[in-house]
Amino acid sequence: MERETQFIGQSAAFQDAVERASLAASLDRPVLVIGERGTGKELIAERLHRLSTRWDRPYVILNCAAMPETLIESELFGHEAGAFTGATRTRAGRFEEADGGTLFLDELATMSMGAQERLLRAVEYGEVTRVGSSRPIRVDVRIVAATNEHLPALVDENRFRADLLDRLSFEVITLPPLRAREGDIEVLATYFGQRMATVLGWEEWPGFGPRALAAMEGHDWPGNVRELRNVIERAIYRWADPEKPVDAVNFDPFASPWQPVVRQSAAKADGGASPVPAEPAPASAAMPTGPVSDLRAAVDAYERQILSDTMTRCRFNQKVAAEALGLSYDQIRHALKKHGLNQQ
């Protein structure tokens, strides 16, 4: 599918973030966009550029996490021929490419301290110097940066420069996670569902059934909107009857009774606590062998008992219990919430 550029949502928290981005767009100042993965930081950054006076100038993107530490300075500031092994010709950096426009630095917190120092100089003085050169080059670039980290905490840990944070935080837009956007889950699910139904050639959109809607509302959505889109599109394409409301969703595409078993070492290399080995469910959690009148209720009760016994055995440590049951941390949190065991 094409790149998604629309803002879908009606919750006050989400609308407030979009409005703040619109307000900040006209000011030629740095902006930090903070949010969990999948919350739409890239879309906010693009909005800041498109609504600015630089809208018709270059919009350059650099994912700092995708660049090795040895290359990120060259990528940002450019290099001269022969500056390092492999530098066979002179190359302009992203700052020069974005001259007159906007430079979006994604995953800012992954940048090395050395690169941060040079970035600070570029932001403060509007000058960059190519690797291997001593001649500064004037540039006019607006910086928009994004991260899912809490940068003030990284400053306290000496992992991020305080002076750079001061320069970049003229405005900070923090995007709410999907679980905090009241009413937006169904709105987004319907939007993505209708689009996928069109792709599959369905004549009409049947909507979602109550079981699917309840499951979506009860999910924590650690991957936020990106995760929701994948879940919805997968549910639509797997649904066998386009004339009936879609009433089944699968949050974990890797879930399977035949999935590979992950073998944990006896002790962790970092000296942490050894994971509790997965054991068969205790006798108290044995599946009843007598007549069953309600299969779903029986299975739910069995699952709840296994979770309760495992949490007790693991001293209510969710991470250790997840490893013992072969689940991810997000999966066990969802299961505990489903069965009302998350308050133990």
Please compute the mean of the pLDDT values over residues 287-295 and round it to a whole number. Answer: 68
The answer on pLDDT for 281 being more than 70 is: no
In the prediction, which pLDDT does 58 show? 97
More confident residue, 87 or 158: 158
Residues 321, 128: Cα–Cα separation, whole Å: 51
- The top-level CATH class assigned to 182-238 is mainly alpha
Residues 305, 248: Cα–Cα separation, whole Å: 24
In the prediction, which pLDDT does 91 show? 86
The answer on pLDDT for 332 being more than 90 is: no
In the prediction, which pLDDT does 42 show? 96
In the prediction, which pLDDT does 215 show? 93
Q: What mean pLDDT value characterizes the chain?
A: 87
Residues 253, 227: Cα–Cα separation, whole Å: 11
The answer on pLDDT for 331 being more than 60 is: yes
Q: Render pLDDT for 61-82 as a digit per residue (tens, 0 to 9).
A: 999 998 887 788 888 998 888 7
Q: Do domains 12-176 and 283-289+297-338 have the same CATH topology?
A: no
The answer on pLDDT for 166 being more than 50 is: yes
The full set of domain ranges for the chain reads: 12-176, 182-238, 283-289+297-338
Fold of 283-289+297-338: Arc Repressor Mutant, subunit A (1.10.10)
Please compute the mean of the pLDDT values over residues 185-201 and round it to a whole number. Answer: 96
**Angle (deg, nearest 10), helices 184-199 and 210-218:** 120
Of 146-150, 196-200, 338-342, the poorest mean pLDDT is in: 338-342
In the chain, what percentage of residues exceed pLDDT 70? 90
Residues 118 and 73 sit within 8 Å (Cβ to Cβ): yes
| 207 band by pLDDT with thresholds 50, 70 and 90 | very high
CA dihedral 66, 69, 72, 78 (to 10 degrees): -140
In the chain, what percentage of residues exceed pLDDT 90? 59
Q: Render pLDDT for 81-102 as a digit per residue (tens, 0 to 9).
A: 877 777 778 889 899 999 999 9
Of 58-72, 96-110, 141-155, 218-232, the poorest mean pLDDT is in: 58-72
More confident residue, 287 or 274: 287
Please compute the mean of the pLDDT values over residues 18-29 and round it to a whole number. Answer: 95
In the prediction, which pLDDT does 330 show? 80
* Nearest-5° Cα angle at 317, 227 to 329: 15
**Domain covering 12-176: architecture:** 3-Layer(aba) Sandwich (3.40)
